[in-house]
């Protein structure tokens, strides 16, 4: 008996170092260099991801849409249910520390030929309890907790993506509305241009070919109007699906009415580890794989179970008595794997390989996060630069149109030159609308890539 106890103690000392070791985040050398452009030290701790989505997206119509999506979106609902499943699994893992108790009443009746009927009964309660000396239950509980963290991070990732997608679709609708308005004004210019060309043709100052080319240009603009209207309807249908609603019109404001901060701060690269839900999900998967490896190691050590039963019976041994009497029993068992050691070794190798896969996925998720932040920041900065140049171009072309109109009024300048100037101005306004949308999309993408909107 003493030898058995000594062997158990030695196994605990030798095996406890590995099977009880908690997860520790691995050193990731790439974290400090995720951002290509350095953040000023005074602002290094600040980030737009610290803002709630209501503070960033101030458009009341958009806020209503996001709130509707958070309540009704199917993908987010499924993610919430997965969190509930993980919570139930964690609760089950915690309860595994407690003994299992079973009530097992039974009764029998027997009769031999020409004999009396014999009745026996047994009202018993049995219990068994596995002692967690070698960390199997502890690692199962820790794995369940990591799975819960993974599910919660997945829910937050779905929520962040949903908010960003609704915002992007909404701002795309505003951009299409702006382009539709400009295109309608362009179509009006082409109608006027065609009317002038037909008048010049009747006066003998132009040819049929010029009239035909002008009419072809007008028809091209009319076709683009139809395409824009189709895109708007399709995008409204897509947005309605995200909101869990039937297709219909989406109430919205205007692109020019949107406002955002002039400066966007990205914060420290290390904040991506705490804030980005997909990175946290990847790390939780790594932690779960770590505890699966620990459980595979604990399979090499014996399993100790205590069991017992107590009951009231009238069949104690070979004697049947009435009334009955109490019967108690207690058993302790130790199971040491011998012939399945090869299978345990294979399971440990598989667990180690899966842990390495999870580590590589975790590191790649950090790299992907850094790439998304850099791309969104460049998109926003480039769009702002283009927007300033575009606004200057619109101002210059507006002055050119005014000058052309004055020259036509007080000189012999042809009206076609005025129409051409107006057409050039409208094209520049289309470009400005596109650049404005690019700038807003950069804000949304940066907010999402930094992990904003998860709360």
Closest CA to 207 of 215, 196, 197: 197
* CATH tag for 19-108+118-449 (out of 3.90.190.10, 3.40.605.10, 1.20.1600.10, 3.40.630.30): 1.20.1600.10
Q: Residue 124, SS3?
A: strand
Structure tokens at 53: 């989505």
- Sketch the domain layout of the chain as residue ranges: 19-108+118-449
pLDDT at 186: 85
pLDDT at 1: 44
pLDDT at 107: 67
Local confidence pLDDT in tens for the 455 residues of the chain: 454 445 555 555 545 556 778 888 887 766 767 777 654 444 556 788 888 899 889 999 999 999 999 999 998 899 999 999 888 888 888 777 777 777 777 767 766 666 677 777 676 777 777 777 777 788 888 888 989 998 999 999 899 999 999 999 999 999 999 999 988 988 888 888 888 888 878 888 778 887 888 888 888 888 989 999 999 999 999 999 999 889 989 999 999 888 888 887 787 777 777 788 888 899 999 999 998 898 888 888 777 777 766 666 666 555 555 565 655 566 666 566 656 767 888 888 999 999 999 999 999 988 888 888 889 888 998 999 998 999 999 899 888 888 877 877 677 666 677 778 888 888 898 899 999 999 999 999 988 888 887 66
Can you state the angle between helices 74-95 and 60-72, rounded to 10 degrees? Answer: 50
From residue 360, alpha-carbon distances to 113, 186, 353, 355 in Å are 75, 54, 11, 9
pLDDT digits (tens, 9 = 90+) for 404-435: 778 776 776 666 777 788 888 888 988 999 99
Burial of 108-140, coded b for 16+ CB within 10 Å and e otherwise, reads eeeeeeeeeeeeebbbbebeeebebbbbbbbbb
pLDDT at 20: 72
């Amino acid at each position: 008996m003493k030898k058995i106890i000594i062997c158990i103690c030695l196994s605990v000392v030798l095996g406890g170092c590995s099977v009880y070791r908690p997860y520790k985040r691995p050193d990731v050398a790439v974290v400090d260099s995720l951002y290509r452009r350095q953040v000023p030290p005074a602002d290094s701790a600040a980030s737009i991801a610290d803002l709630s989505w209501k503070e960033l997206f101030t458009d009341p119509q958009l806020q209503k849409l996001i709130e509707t999506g958070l309540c009704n979106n199917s993908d987010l609902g499924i993610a919430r249910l997965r969190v509930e499943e993980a919570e139930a699994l964690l609760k089950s893992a915690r309860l595994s520390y407690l003994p299992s108790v079973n009530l097992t009443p039974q009764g029998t009746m027997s009769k031999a030929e020409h004999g009396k009927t014999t009745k026996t009964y047994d009202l018993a309660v049995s219990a068994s309890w596995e002692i967690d000396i070698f960390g199997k239950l502890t690692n199962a509980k820790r794995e369940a907790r990591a799975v819960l963290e993974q599910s919660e991070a997945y829910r937050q990732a779905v929520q962040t993506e949903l908010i960003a997608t609704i915002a992007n679709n909404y701002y795309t609708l505003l951009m299409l509305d702006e382009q539709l308005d400009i295109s309608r004004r362009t179509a009006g210019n082409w109608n006027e241009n065609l009317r002038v060309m037909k008048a010049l043709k009747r006066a003998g100052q132009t040819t049929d070919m010029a009239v035909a080319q002008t009419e072809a240009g007008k028809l091209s603009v009319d076709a683009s109007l139809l395409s824009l209207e189709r895109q708007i309807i399709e995008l409204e249908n897509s947005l309605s699906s995200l909101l869990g609603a039937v297709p219909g019109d989406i109430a919205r404001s205007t692109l020019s009415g949107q406002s955002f901060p002039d400066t966007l701060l990205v914060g420290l690269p290390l904040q991506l580890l705490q804030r980005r839900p997909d990175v946290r999900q990847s790390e939780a998967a790594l932690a779960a794989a770590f505890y699966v490896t620990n459980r595979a190691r604990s399979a090499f050590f014996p399993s100790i179970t205590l069991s017992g039963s107590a009951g009231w019976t009238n069949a104690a041994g070979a004697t049947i008595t009435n009334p009955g009497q109490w019967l108690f029993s207690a058993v302790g068992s130790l199971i040491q794997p011998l012939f399945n050691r090869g299978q345990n070794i294979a399971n440990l190798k598989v667990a180690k390989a899966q842990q390495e896969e999870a580590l590589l996925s975790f590191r790649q998720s950090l790299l992907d996060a850094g790439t998304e932040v850099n791309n969104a920041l460049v998109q926003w900065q480039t769009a702002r630069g283009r927007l300033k140049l575009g606004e200057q171009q619109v101002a210059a072309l507006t002055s050119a149109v005014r000058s052309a109109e004055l020259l036509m009024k007080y000189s012999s300048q042809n009206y076609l030159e005025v129409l051409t100037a107006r057409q050039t101005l409208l094209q520049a306004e289309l470009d400005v609308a596109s650049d404005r949308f690019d700038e807003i999309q950069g804000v949304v993408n940066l907010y999402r890539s930094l992990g904003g909107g998860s709360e």
